[in-house]
Amino acid sequence: MLDTTALNQQRNFFDGHSSLWLFGYGSLIWKADFDYLERRSAYIHGWERRFWQGSHDHRGTPEAPGRVATLIRAQGAVCHGMAYRITPDVLAPLDTREKNGYLREKVPLTFVDGNVGDNGDAAEQSEGLIYLASDDNPAFLGEAPLADIAQQIAYAHGPSGANAEYLLNLATALRELGAEDAHIFALEHQLKLL
């Protein structure tokens, strides 16, 4: 397992800022166990959420890793989540939480006012930070048939709890946002068939 904590502490895209936006697309949507100044529904362009990252430290173990969300590039895609305005001191505990292969990256994000489908006036945008587990990190598991991913999720359990809980909580949180996510909802369906 690669611990990315030290690497992330060198990735200071927002040096000198008193606050910054953090975009959560996985457990950060529903498990904000950190202090934040503001929370807003938001989305990012060009990314899709996938359960392709291994979890050896939260939702699984080194012997039996779980699967958690990461992002893959996808032209024209929209990924909905939750944006948190945080102070820079919140990054240190987040770096520890996301240490299993995730690196800080800077992305443009768009805030959602009202429901996800609304296309009102020009949407407010900002630069934000994501934690991204790319395909070159040691914990990346990659694509697999949905039934196989669901099977792995069904049986994985780690210090943060059951892997199935992570998936089900994420699916619920996305519905509460009014967001569509074919991959997450198909995985949820497969899990419930087991």
pLDDT per position as a tens digit, 148-189: 999 999 999 999 999 999 999 999 999 999 999 999 999 999
Mean pLDDT, the chain, whole residue set:
93
Contact 85, 129 (CB under 8 A): no
When pLDDT is averaged across residues 3-7 and rounded to a whole number, the result is 87
Give φ, ψ of 106 to 5 degrees: -100, 135
Nearest residue to 2 (alpha-carbon basis) of 121, 107, 139, 103: 139
Tell me the whole-structure pTM to 2 decimals: 0.92
Residue 119 confidence (pLDDT) above 80: no
What are the boundaries of each domain within the chain? 5-193
Q: Which fold has domain 5-193?
A: Hypothetical upf0131 protein ytfp (3.10.490)
The single residue of 48, 98, 105, 188 carrying the catalytic annotation is: 98
Residue located via tokens 């068939």: 193
Choose among 94, 83, 75: nearest CA to 42.
83
Query: What local confidence, expressed as pLDDT, does residue 13 receive?
Result: 83
Residue 126 has pLDDT above 60, yes or no: yes
CB 163 within 8 Å of CB 55: yes
The residue type found at 116 is V
Q: Is 63 a catalytic residue?
A: no
